[in-house]
Amino acid sequence: MKNPLTTNDGLPSFSAIQPEHVEPALDSVLAEGRHRIASLLSVDRPTFESLIEPLEDLEHRLNRTWSPVSHLNAVRNEEALRESYNRCLPKLSDYETELRQNDRLYRAWLAVQENDSQLDPVQRRLIDLSLRSFRLAGVALEAGDKERFRELMQELTTLQARFEENLLDATNAGLCHVTDELQLSGIPQRSVTRAAAEARRRDLEGWVFSLDYPAYRAIVSHADSNPLRQEMYTAWVTRASDQGPEAGRWDNTRTMEAILAARHEAARLLGYPNFAEYSLATKMAESPDQVRGFLEDLARRSHDAASEEFAELQHFAGHELEAWDVGYYSEKLRRRKFSISDEELRPYFPVERVISGMFEVVNELFGIEVRQREGIDVWHPDVGFYEAYGADGALRGSFYVDLYARPAKRGGAWMDDCIGRTRRNGSVIKPVAYLSCNFMPPVGNSPALLTHDEVVTLFHEFGHVLHHILTTVDYPSVAGINGVAWDAVELPSQFMENFCWCEETVEMISGHYQTGEPLPEEVFDRLVGSRGFQAGMQMVRQLEFALFDLRIHAEYRPGQGGRILEILSEVRDQVAVVPAPEFNRFAHGFAHVFGGGYAAGYYSYKWAEVLSADAFAAFDDEGVLSRDTGDRFLECILQRGGGVDPMKAFVDFRGRKPTIDALLHYSGIGG
């Protein structure tokens, strides 16, 4: 039987992929890549067409093999697949480093850059980014240092996967078992019903709240029982650590230290003083000092507001608050001030209505029509598949949607690349994306109902999808989200969030699941009024994450280790307003940073928020659903992917460089 991971055509055959397919498929593709590269290097006077286009094709081929494996490992993390996946990670890392440390290949790229006068701007940018990747992989190192760098990349690949596995295992194992019905007071009925079903599934009496985010949020925001809130909070913030109910069982402490040490050594080998400097070499920001200044400036602007908000919350509660009280009393205060709550809004946001309305919004903005396609091979019955068509009726791209939390699925929400756009033999292979969330699934006979926060999350991830599938760039390494500076890649996603707060668009995405009634105008007005609720507290919380991430990488010293808890404590003293208990081990679950891509780059969310808020202000000025403005955003930002410098793309759209004013305005924080 043919290995389903080695086919070059069509969508992945998820139902056919088995753990035993993974390693042979990767071995085959990597061997083919090595053979093809050796053949390409035998050609004299390389050109873009003779060298780089075949290399782009090899990258496309490798991604098509590995992407379904990586995705299944995230959404269906079973033991046999995990073992196959982990065996492949060092091989993949070794191949990538070997490729970028190849002197002959590097010189061939340089020759194309120097000799091909017919290159267009996208091709030139592709070459510039690739040459930078060669240098950042150690192509100029001596042989011994090259080998050490390669070892470090393999080690990091394994360590980061271990971090995420520990976190997933700790999350899957955690639970909050309730046998006294009185403890359920205040918890939304949908969550209680789900917990009862989970208890039955485990052959337990009463109610079982799993340690996924919907269950965590339901308890810490709504449970009247202080001990129950404390129990759930403690289990959540001590996952994969030396504290809490599972202390030491999946402890990430040593893994985190090893990750920081390996990153630092790799950066030093390449001549960077620390990993933060190395990380910023691929980003818009110029230096760690610039990033820290940006973050601390935001902290100064928002700290007074955050302190006032927390003081107001404690006054409302009538006593000093512990960390597990904040969500509960915040929800009550929000209801008091704006007569609105998540549970009041939830019936107006059934999933199907939100999704269809979201598609209406992008049709109005960009002339993109999205249609569901049935009969596609998927990894779970809840997964849907959609195709996006342009104003000319041509297919632009497609995407999978996997919305609900379940065991063995990674937490959080994300978008990823399934297939990148490329041109092969004169025809275009259209891009495909994954959109994954962890919302509460349907309960009983009612459909899945979203909170407004979850609607915002869905729009955020769909912004990433649009960025990937609407690209018109034909080279995979700079098409869609690929090749985009990490601190600009959040621009389209954060931009899309704004449409969840506009009257014109909320009408499209809301409708009571029983009556179809749109969100009443007075409820919408209260929702908009609540947009700036605790904006200062939310701002300093994100700044805490970003400053912590930056500092552990910029200040790492081999003799003293990562000082993870020490630096986190210092950052909290500087910016936080909510006291964290001594047992809090937030960092042990900080997968964005220790699991991969956002290392020394978590500031990107705030950096890109400046860009996205300023971009959306153009729609506020010219019309929220202005097609002219939407077409300009499509042409300047979404279609160009990584084929243009992100600052140039922004200036082309906005006519000037970004300012921080719009971010402060939409956050409700004074300058």
When pLDDT is averaged across residues 281-304 and rounded to a whole number, the result is 94
In 3D space, the residue among 359, 633, 638 whose CA is nearest the CA of residue 472 turns out to be: 638
Per-residue pLDDT for 34 more than 60? yes
Q: Quick one: pLDDT at residue 1?
A: 66
In a domain, 162, yes or no: no
Is residue 275 within 8 A of residue 553, CB to CB? The reply is yes
In a domain, 25, yes or no: yes
> Is the Cα torsion angle 266, 157, 161, 158 positive or negative in sign?
negative
Q: Give per-residue pLDDT as tens, 568-579.
A: 999 999 999 999
Residues 270 and 333 in one domain: yes
Is residue 636 within 8 A of residue 618, CB to CB? The reply is no
The tokens of 134 are what? 């060669």
Q: Give per-residue pLDDT as tens, 138-196.
A: 999 999 999 999 999 999 999 999 999 999 999 999 999 999 999 999 999 999 999 99
* N- to C-terminal Cα separation, the chain: 64
When pLDDT is averaged across residues 424-438 and rounded to a whole number, the result is 94
Residues 546 and 619 in one domain: no
* 223 CB-near residues (< 8 Å, 6+ apart): 183, 184, 185, 186, 187, 229, 232, 328
Residues 180 and 267 in one domain: no
Return the axis-axis angle of helices 535-554 and 564-575, rounded to nearest 10°: 150
When pLDDT is averaged across residues 340-353 and rounded to a whole number, the result is 94
What is the domain extent for residue 190?
Answer: 174-237
Q: Quick one: pLDDT at residue 219?
A: 98
Residues 624 and 584 in one domain: no
Q: Give per-residue pLDDT as tens, 529-569.
A: 999 999 999 999 999 999 999 999 999 999 999 999 999 99
Per-residue pLDDT for 8 more than 80? no
Global pTM? 0.94
* Helix, strand, coil share of the chain (percent; to 5): 60, 10, 30
Residues 368 and 470 in one domain: yes
Average pLDDT taken over every residue of the chain: 95
Per-residue pLDDT for 596 more than 80? no
User: Is residue 618 classed exposed, middle or buried when 0-12, 13-18 and 19+ CB atoms within 10 A define those classes?
Assistant: middle
In a domain, 47, yes or no: yes
In a domain, 395, yes or no: yes
Residues 503 and 620 in one domain: yes
Task: Tell me if residue 582 is catalytic.
Answer: no
Confidence of residue 671 (pLDDT cuts 50, 70, 90): very low
In a domain, 209, yes or no: yes
Residues 589 and 622 in one domain: no
Domain count of the fold of the chain: 4
The last residue of a domain, from among 598, 617, 640: 598
Residues 508 and 442 in one domain: yes
CA–CA gap between residue 328 and residue 662 (Å, rounded): 30
Residues 79 and 130 in one domain: yes
In a domain, 4, yes or no: no
Burial state string for 504-534 with b = 16 or more CB within 10 A and e = fewer than 16: ebbebbbbbbeeeebbeeebbebbeebebbb
In a domain, 26, yes or no: yes
Higher pLDDT: 661 or 432? It is 432
Catalytic residue among 164, 198, 246, 461: 461
Is residue 569 within 8 A of residue 288, CB to CB? The reply is no
Report the CATH number that the domain containing residue 132 is assigned in CATH. Answer: 1.20.1050.40
| Residue whose structure tokens are 């605790």 | 534
Q: Quick one: pLDDT at residue 444?
A: 84
Is residue 52 within 8 A of residue 112, CB to CB? The reply is yes
When pLDDT is averaged across residues 441-459 and rounded to a whole number, the result is 94
Q: Quick one: pLDDT at residue 296?
A: 96
CA–CA gap between residue 259 and residue 251 (Å, rounded): 14
Residues in a beta bridge with 395: 389
* C-beta neighbour count of 39 within 10 angstroms: 10
Residues 618 and 510 in one domain: yes
Q: How far is CA 284 from CA 323, 484, 630, in A?
A: 35, 10, 24
Is residue 282 within 8 A of residue 136, CB to CB? The reply is yes
Q: How far is CA 273 from CA 139, 264, 268, 270, 558, in A?
A: 18, 8, 6, 9, 12
Per-residue pLDDT for 670 more than 80? no
When pLDDT is averaged across residues 112-134 and rounded to a whole number, the result is 94
CA–CA gap between residue 17 and residue 85 (Å, rounded): 13
Proportion of the chain above pLDDT 70, given as a percent: 100
Residues 94 and 216 in one domain: no
> Is the Cα torsion angle 647, 651, 657, 663 positive or negative in sign?
negative
Residue 432 main-chain phi, psi, to 5 deg: -135, 140
In a domain, 215, yes or no: yes
* C-beta neighbour count of 455 within 10 angstroms: 25
CA–CA gap between residue 196 and residue 637 (Å, rounded): 47
CA–CA gap between residue 234 and residue 612 (Å, rounded): 35
When pLDDT is averaged across residues 606-617 and rounded to a whole number, the result is 94
